[in-house]
Amino acid sequence: MYDTVVIGAGIAGCSTAFMLREKGQNVLLVDRSSYAATGGSGAAGAFVSPKIGKGGPLQVLTNEAFEYAKTFYLHYFPDYFHQTGVIRMPKDEEDAKKFAEYAIYNRSQFEMLDASQLQELGIEETLESFLFPEAGVCDAPELCNAMADRVPFRQFDVKSLTFENGIWQLLGSNSSLFTRNIVLATGHENVLFDMRYMGVRGTWGSRGDYYSKLPLEVSMHKKISVSANIGGIVKLGATHVKAKSPCMVCDGRPLASLEAQAKTMVNADDFVLKETFCGMRAGSKDYVPLVGKVVDTAYMIEHHRNVFRGAKVPLKHLENLYILNGIGGRGFVFSPLMAAWLSALIVEGKEMDKRVDPDRLFLKWCRKQKGA
């Protein structure tokens, strides 16, 4: 019998299992694969950097998570977080005009670099850019597996879940697991419960790791991400295809657009492809993570049909069932803080931050259902 079973060993699930273990729980991390980060997390560029903008709620939340994440990685997993600094470049001249305004809302340490300073770093850019020196990049699959090594981990393909007398049973092909709590960190796939109201959707991401001798000491982002040269490897990555059949869109060449963009940013003449990674990353409707309890949709539909007509009624949640999902392309920024908040809810009963609580989406979803 476990205190909590976390389903899904991407960065969200690994972070949650690690945090729960730190709080003394008897936790088990499960995934249908035999090792962590086989999906979107494994294909991530895994940049850990602030979000720029005009100080909106998502930027504030992201940068709060950034400050937490960099400290967390440096403390617990310094071998897998490279604090190279990250340069954020304007997409074009029109975007560059906004950077002066964006600078007002940069709460993290930053510098402005002009064209000559960028060229000294080996970056082919003429527009002023932000350098966030405390930002960096993670070794995505290696970091997830290092986290998974710190907690009990088991390959287990969950077919269905049942709840009886305060205990969850996870049914697999040939065996079962029993636990008091479940955390769903399953990414864009949500087959175990009706969670339509959360609107989780997938966006295809690609990353290529390239052998190179380019003396590139800083990471950067424009339309794609280009990492510093770490151990003779430069990583190119982007979350860029919204399609059910992304390989039909990219015609089997997921890195073609990344390589073309990289050549406008750095000297990529000696880049030799080492390995390609592709995976689906899960995002929410409003781009804000989904962290907290899960509404019992079936119960609400049966007993409170007036919610479809705009009535505000108390929400009933599925007992001891939680979720951490919808972290999108910034999974390695969001996951540590979101996991800390979720573990505090599970272990201490601490109220979830309203900004990320999935309840925010339920009534909105109900009002949009036609014929209910």
Q: What is the pLDDT of residues 105-148, one digit of tens each?
A: 999 999 999 999 999 999 999 999 999 999 999 998 999 999 99
DSSP helix/strand/coil, 87: strand
Q: Is the pLDDT of residue 249 over 60?
A: no
At which residue do the structure tokens 């019992």 appear?
296
- The confidence band for 41, taking pLDDT boundaries of 50, 70 and 90, is confident
Domains of the chain: 2-40+143-200+285-367 (3.50.50.60), 48-60+77-138 (no CATH), 203-280 (3.30.70)
Q: Which of 179, 84, 189, 151 is closest to 339 using CA atoms?
A: 151
Task: Collect all residues with Cβ–Cβ distance below 8 Å to 269 and sequence separation of at least 6.
Answer: none
What pLDDT digit, counting tens, does each position of 159-208 carry? 999 999 999 999 998 899 999 999 999 988 878 888 899 989 888 888 89
Q: Is the pLDDT of residue 310 over 80?
A: no
pTM: 0.93
Q: Is the pLDDT of residue 42 over 80?
A: no
CA distance 16 to 22: 10
Q: Is the pLDDT of residue 241 over 70?
A: no
- The confidence band for 282, taking pLDDT boundaries of 50, 70 and 90, is confident
- The confidence band for 308, taking pLDDT boundaries of 50, 70 and 90, is confident
Helices 11-22 + 331-348 axis angle, to 10: 40
Helix, strand, coil percent values for the chain (each to nearest 5) = 30, 30, 40
CA distance 241 to 75: 34
DSSP assigned state of 333: H
Task: Name the E strands within the chain.
Answer: 2-7, 27-31, 47-48, 81-82, 86-88, 111-113, 129-132, 136-138, 153-155, 160-164, 167-171, 176-184, 201-211, 219-221, 225-226, 233-241, 272-283, 290-295, 317-325
- Beta carbons of 333 and 65 less than 8 angstroms apart: yes
Backbone torsions φ then ψ of 264, nearest 5 degrees: -85, -5
pLDDT at 248: 44
CA distance 42 to 49: 18
Average pLDDT, the chain: 91
- What are the tokens at 323? 């979720």
CA distance 4 to 216: 43
pLDDT at 311: 80
